[in-house]
């Protein structure tokens, strides 16, 4: 029994099906991954995960969720369904994944330079318009070349979430791999205020304009080399951790007995 409401008892079993339907699939996958990580660590005869390593992952998580303090991190995670137990398990999984991949990471001078360019290199302030078809992109470009403001066209024609801001997105670094190479090269060639021709990005068409001169920071690589090396390693480890996580989820076999869990996983 977990509670009594108006004289009526509520048991764990009463709550079970509702909890499984709510987030049973996600929790099961987390537990499966955690066990798979522990099994792999044991197979590879690595040392057990320490509390220090778990605390490190908590700090990484805190830094990842920028503009958050240690106090409101817990509130933010609680809103996403993470209490202390689930948060500890998340940090433990990340610590295990990092332990499994860290020996494979080789931080090169090129990777340090890329990280430096991404963080301290020039960033171009831009606006974008995204459309579903070339015809729509061409119509948008025609309006802009006829004198209509890029902001207005973006607000009325773009299907990107940035449309509500007139197409404004975060400034783009030429070293940012989240943007296609074609975009990163183009922003360095456009004059301020010039609109690009339509660019095909996967199944969407993009128009982009540079709104001002790139921002510059007076930081030299020797000043921040150690930090760039650490950040480069973390980024490379995270990529390997994500890939390993997917492999373990897809290859770990499980025998699911509870029909409620089965239904949750099939949804």
On whether both 27 and 90 belong to a single domain, the answer is yes
Report whether pLDDT(162) > 90. Answer: yes
On whether both 31 and 84 belong to a single domain, the answer is yes
On whether both 231 and 99 belong to a single domain, the answer is yes
Report whether pLDDT(205) > 60. Answer: yes
On whether both 233 and 259 belong to a single domain, the answer is yes
On whether both 144 and 195 belong to a single domain, the answer is yes
Report whether pLDDT(3) > 90. Answer: no
The total number of structural domains in the chain stands at 2
**Spatial separation of the C-alpha atoms in residues 129 and 131, rounded to whole Å:** 7
On whether both 9 and 54 belong to a single domain, the answer is yes
In whole angstroms, what separates CA 159 from the centre of its chain? 21
Calculate mean pLDDT across residues 92-112: 94
**Spatial separation of the C-alpha atoms in residues 127 and 49, rounded to whole Å:** 46
On whether both 143 and 55 belong to a single domain, the answer is no
Report whether pLDDT(70) > 60. Answer: no
Residue 161's pLDDT is: 93
On whether both 49 and 132 belong to a single domain, the answer is no
The answer to whether position 216 is within a domain reads no
Most confident by average pLDDT, 6-20, 29-43, 173-187: 29-43
> Containing domain of residue 13, as a range?
3-108+224-266
On whether both 75 and 46 belong to a single domain, the answer is yes
Segment 127-150, tens digit of pLDDT: 999 999 999 999 999 999 999 999
Report whether pLDDT(244) > 80. Answer: yes
Report whether pLDDT(2) > 80. Answer: no
What pTM was estimated for this model as a whole?
0.70
On whether both 86 and 170 belong to a single domain, the answer is no
Three-class secondary structure of residue 128 per DSSP:
strand
Bridge partners, residue 195, by sequence: 209
Helix (H) or strand (E) holding 231: helix 221-251
CA atoms in the 13 A half-sphere facing the CB of 154: 22
Average pLDDT, the chain: 88
The answer to whether position 217 is within a domain reads no
Find where tokens 């509130």 sit: 75
| 80 vs 112, more confident | 112
On whether both 104 and 34 belong to a single domain, the answer is yes
What would the two tokens of residue 153 be? 């066209």
On whether both 101 and 135 belong to a single domain, the answer is no
Residue 62's pLDDT is: 77
The answer to whether position 114 is within a domain reads no
**Spatial separation of the C-alpha atoms in residues 195 and 205, rounded to whole Å:** 13
- Of the candidates 212, 223, 194, the one whose C-alpha atom is nearest the C-alpha of residue 122 is 212
The answer to whether position 115 is within a domain reads no
Read off the CATH number of the domain in which 193 is found. Answer: 3.10.50.40
Residue 11's pLDDT is: 80
């Amino acid at each position: 029994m977990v509670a009594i409401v108006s004289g009526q008892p509520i048991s764990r079993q009463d709550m079970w099906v509702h909890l499984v339907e709510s987030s049973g699939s996600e929790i099961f996958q987390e537990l499966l991954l955690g066990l798979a990580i522990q099994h792999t660590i044991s197979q590879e005869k690595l040392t057990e995960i320490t509390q220090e390593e778990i605390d490190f992952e908590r700090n990484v998580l805190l830094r990842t969720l920028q503009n958050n303090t240690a106090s409101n991190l817990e509130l933010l995670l609680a809103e996403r369904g993470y209490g202390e137990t689930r948060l500890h398990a998340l940090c433990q999984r990340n610590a295990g994944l990092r332990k499994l991949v860290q020996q494979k990471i080789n931080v090169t001078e090129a990777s340090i330079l890329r990280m430096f360019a991404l963080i301290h290199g020039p960033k171009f302030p831009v606006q974008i318009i995204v459309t579903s078809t070339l015809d729509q992109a061409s119509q948008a470009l025609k309006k802009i070349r006829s004198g209509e403001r890029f902001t207005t066209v973006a607000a009325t024609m773009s299907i990107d979430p940035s449309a509500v801001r007139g197409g404004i997105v975060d400034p783009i670094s030429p070293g940012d791999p989240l943007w296609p190479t074609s975009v990163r090269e183009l922003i360095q060639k456009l004059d301020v205020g010039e609109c690009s021709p339509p660019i095909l990005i996967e199944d969407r068409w993009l128009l982009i304009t540079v709104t001002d001169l790139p921002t510059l920071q007076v930081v030299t690589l020797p000043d921040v080399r150690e930090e760039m090396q650490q950040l480069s390693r973390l980024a490379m480890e995270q990529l390997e951790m994500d890939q390993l996580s997917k492999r373990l989820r897809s290859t770990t076999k499980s025998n699911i007995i509870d029909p409620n869990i089965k239904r949750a996983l099939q949804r």
